[in-house]
A = this chain, B = another copy of it.
Amino acid sequence: MDLKKLLTSYQTLDQKTITLIGRIRSNRQGKVVSFAVINDGTDINDVQVVYKSDIQGHEDALKARVGSIVEATGKIILTPGKPQPFEIQATAITLLDQAIEEYPLQKKEHTPEFLREIAHLRARTKTYNAVFRVRSTLAFAIHKFFQEQNFVYVQTPIITSNDAEGAGEAFVVTTRSDDKYEQDFFGKKASLTVSGQLNAEAYAQAFKNVYTFGPTFRAENSFTTKHASEFWMIEPEVAFADLQDNIKLIEEMLKSIISYLFEKNKAELEFLEATQEEGLIKKLEGIIKADFAVMKYEEVLEVLKKAISNGHQFEEKNIVFGLDLGTEHERYICEQFNKKPTFVIDYPKDIKAFYMKENDDKKTVAAVDLLVPGIGELVGGSQREASFDKIIQRVRDMKINEEELSWYTDLRRFGYFKSSGFGLGFERLVMYVTGMANIRDVIPYPRTPKNLLF
């Protein structure tokens, strides 16, 4: 029987004999009885096995080190009033595999830095077990949400010859050790994708509702707690949809996936609230309950100016049209001003990507960022420019390779009526939901500059 099943059905198993294979978390010899705490990885909670000296395998059981694998057979005894609701009174314990004495995860506190060096082992700790189980559930919740709404999952390419919006530097993919790319594997320069959006947009014209969910890459030398060289993105795209539809979809998606998480991983969230972020659960419940606010970018500027005149201190005080809002501004808007998640729309054209739809004022675009308490921007999206002439002009103005992108801009010539979509950085979401402060701690094997282990 696996531990998860045992933990959900123990009440019906009083006095019944069961067998469980698991890893030793601790093993303490007492005068009369000894106690082994074991876990098989299927649940965040452990089970305590109590064993006396007359059981089969007693000697081996006593020797079993932390990290070792044992098979325990015994009777379930309900223990109302004790911290754990039941224990196993062993009749036999078999030591299946003994861990070495130098097992790195002894029963004590370890720093995140130390645990990153043993990324292949850290998911055995309660914290990382919770984090990576939440990550898995969130990934599934996203698929579930979109599939139930008849969205088609499009696995857009990882190796690409275009770099989306020129966002950041791209890694080169090659089989050569020089730059003669015309003689390279693909006969031209190839890179790792920075976004699947443009490819997904073409598919939205075929299926109406599509989404991508795959890895993306940035060759940026950023040594921050928020940047990784490899991370996953979710990029939905809906044909015939405008910015308002987009906003509605973002709000529904977030509420749906967080609700699903509460349903599946309440224990993990409670553990993370206790160890990582006070108020985590209330913060997440806030997302589910709130009616998100919507503000125009220019309204945001007015609020920020007023805040400054009322004595609020921002590092960037020069609040003028064209300012790329900083995290401090974003957090002020959603935490202090609206006190709830806030969509900011209609950003200045010049600080946004070429494919965003120009508004009638000719100076702003139909962009949207979702700001959430605690971190600021979580999602960014837009309605796409539908006019062939306008998007070509933007491509030229921004000196993007027109020829390389012609397949994309040509979509406007092959029957096109509105399209909107957004991007959600998956790791940013996992950090937000788990309370983990460093992106390296929400990726199983993180990749950052000068760091390529496992």
Contact = CB atoms under 8 A, between A and B. Distances in A.
A202 B42 contact: no
Q: How many copies does the complex hold?
A: 2
A40 interface: yes
A153 interface: yes
A240 B22 CA distance: 9
A244 interface: no
A207 B40 CA distance: 7
Contacts of A351: none
A23 B209 CA distance: 14
A186 B452 contact: yes
A307 interface: no
Contacts of A221: 185
Contacts of A454: 157, 160, 162, 199, 202, 407
A143 interface: yes
Contacts of A232: 155
Nearest to A173: B171
Interface stretch (A85-93, A211-219, A281-289, A331-339): A211-219
Contact of A172 (B42, B155, B174, B215): B174
A226 interface: no
Contact of A153 (B136, B155, B171, B450): B136
Given A21-B240, A97-B415, A136-B154, A160 B42 contact: no
A452 B161 contact: yes
Nearest to A71: B417
Interface stretch (A55-63, A187-195, A290-298, A375-383): A187-195
Contacts of A386: 97
Contact of A140 (B147, B414, B416): B147
A424 to B, nearest CB: 15
B139 A202 contact: no
Contacts of A208: 2, 40-42
Contacts of A160: 452, 454
A371 interface: no
Contact of A186 (B98, B159, B407, B451): B451
Nearest to A97: B417
B21 A417 contact: yes
Given A41-B239, A97-B417, A206-B124, A185 B199 contact: no
A279 interface: no
A179 interface: yes
A73 interface: no
Contacts of A129: 206-207
A413 B100 CA distance: 6
A181 to B, nearest CB: 9
A205 B124 contact: yes
Contact of A444 (B96, B105, B203): B203
B229 A416 contact: no
A116 interface: no
25 contacts: A23-B205, A24-B415, A41-B206, A42-B207, A69-B240, A97-B386, A97-B416, A97-B417, A98-B415, A105-B414, A121-B205, A123-B203, A124-B206, A133-B207, A136-B147, A136-B154, A155-B443, A157-B444, A159-B192, A159-B452, A161-B452, A171-B173, A174-B174, A178-B178, A199-B444
Given A124-B205, A140-B147, A160-B454, 19 more contacts: A41-B205, A96-B417, A97-B415, A99-B415, A100-B414, A120-B202, A120-B408, A123-B206, A132-B154, A136-B152, A140-B153, A158-B230, A159-B230, A159-B447, A159-B452, A174-B174, A185-B219, A187-B450, A188-B452
